[in-house]
Amino acid sequence: MNRAAVVAGLGAWVPETVVTNDDLAARLDTSAEWISTRTGIEQRHIVAPGESTGDLAVEAGGRALKSAGTERADMVVLATSTPDRSCPATAPEVAARLGLGGAAAFDIAAVCTGFVYALGVSAALVESGTAGTVLVIGADTFSTILNPADRTTRAIFGDGAGAVLLRAGAPAEPGALKGLHLGSDGTRSRLLEVAAGGSRQRSTGRPAEPDAEFFTMEGRAVFAEAVRHMAASVETTARLLDWRLDDLDRVVLHQANSRILVAVAERIGLPADRFVRNIERVGNTVAASIPLALADGVRRGELLAGQRVVLGGFGGGLTWGSVGLVWPDVVAA
């Protein structure tokens, strides 16, 4: 392989409205202390009425283009499980709003692993020469599919968007994506789901049960699967790259629960402080989680040019995946 996909820009965006743990405790049978100690989350951002995933994706995507110093991209790939409408995909409208009319544009739905899947597909399109530049966006608005009465999911999820611009470059360059590993286990798809609204329910001709329109999650089982699969995936990517685990300067995982990050660190035998963590500020933002953590890592000076980094995700599907890179010199916009 003599052509690689290189990270050339990074952008992030969260909606204005902040919901603190105290806000949730005032409305639900929970406490700020429970949320903080069981998840590590202190606050999350949620969209305003009428605001959509596409709106957040445009903000983050525009910032990634600016960070890369360009106004152009050949393709827009949007990872999301909360599209603006169930049909068509949201990416073409995002591309148009960013002034990228004519660019190929499509959505990828792999829930919390969506950004890693999108990076993998986009990198392959760059490596093959099909695209010279791809704007890869992860954006979700899970606040729009949560049961307002569900204290567990409402404590965890927040809305947001993050994006990187990939450009064609050389495999030895900083920023070149490599060591991609992706996997799934559809036998456990019901651990996280929105049961209604798809063809399985709509083909019955009967209206959905009201609660079936909301996202549900079997938290404890998902926790165990997240630790097992993210740890194994990070190890696989390190092995594919011929990096010892101890060579990893930073691990940037999907921010699902700070206890999951600690458990993965223990499982692969790395100090937890090598794991970038911003869950306290934004909660679990699904497909936006990894690029938002990248942007916060850069802004806080935790992610520095030249560091060996593995990104890893896990989520509904079940799906999981990891990819490695030597961190490039990029500014988070």
Residues designated as active site: 112, 254, 284
Under the criterion CB under 6 A, does residue 183 sit at the interface with ligand UT7?
no
Exactly one of 180, 226, 263, 264 binds ligand UT7 (CB under 6 A); that residue is 226
Under the criterion CB under 6 A, does residue 34 sit at the interface with ligand UT7?
yes
Exactly one of 315, 321, 324, 328 binds ligand UT7 (CB under 6 A); that residue is 315
What is the SS3 string spanning the chain? CCCEEEEEEEEEECCCEEEEHHHHHHHCCCCHHHHHHHHCCCEEEECCCCCCHHHHHHHHHHHHHHHHCCCCCCEEEEECCCCCCCCCCCHHHHHHHCCCCCCEEEEECCHHHHHHHHHHHHHHHHHCCCCCEEEEEEEEEHHHCCCCCCHHHHHHECEEEEEEEEEEECCCCCCECEEEEEEECHHHHHHEEECCCCHHHHCCCCCCCHHHHCEEECHHHHHHHHHHHHHHHHHHHHHHCCCCHHHCCEEEECCCCHHHHHHHHHHHCCCHHHECCCHHHHCECHHHHHHHHHHHHHHCCCCCCCCEEEEEEEECCCEEEEEEEECCCCCEC
Q: CB nearer to ligand UT7: give 109 or 240.
A: 109
Under the criterion CB under 6 A, does residue 219 sit at the interface with ligand UT7?
yes
How many binding residues for ligand UT7 (CB under 6 A)? 23
Closest separation in Å from C-beta 204 to ligand UT7: 28
Residue nearest to ligand UT7 (CB): 219
Question: Nearest to residue 1, comparing CAs of 119, 124, 120?
Answer: 124
Locate tokens 């445009």: which residue?
58
Q: Which of residues 272-301 bind ligand UT7 (CB under 6 A)?
A: 284
Closest separation in Å from C-beta 269 to ligand UT7: 21
Under the criterion CB under 6 A, does residue 56 sit at the interface with ligand UT7?
no
Closest separation in Å from C-beta 226 to ligand UT7: 4
Closest separation in Å from C-beta 188 to ligand UT7: 12
Q: CB nearer to ligand UT7: give 8 or 112.
A: 112
Q: Which of residues 88-127 bind ligand UT7 (CB under 6 A)?
A: 112
Under the criterion CB under 6 A, does residue 220 sit at the interface with ligand UT7?
yes
Exactly one of 67, 143, 257, 258 binds ligand UT7 (CB under 6 A); that residue is 257
Under the criterion CB under 6 A, does residue 141 sit at the interface with ligand UT7?
no
Under the criterion CB under 6 A, does residue 30 sit at the interface with ligand UT7?
yes
Under the criterion CB under 6 A, does residue 214 sit at the interface with ligand UT7?
no
Exposed, middle or buried by CB within 10 Å (0-12, 13-18, 19+), for 307? middle
Under the criterion CB under 6 A, does residue 216 sit at the interface with ligand UT7?
no
Q: CB nearer to ligand UT7: give 176 or 263.
A: 263
Closest separation in Å from C-beta 217 to ligand UT7: 6
Exactly one of 21, 39, 122, 233 binds ligand UT7 (CB under 6 A); that residue is 39
125-146 burial string, b = 16+ CB within 10 Å, else e? bbbeeebebbbbbbbbbbbebb
List residues near ligand UT7 by CB under 6 A.
30, 34-35, 38-39, 112, 151-152, 155-156, 192, 217, 219-220, 222-223, 226, 256-257, 260, 284, 314-315
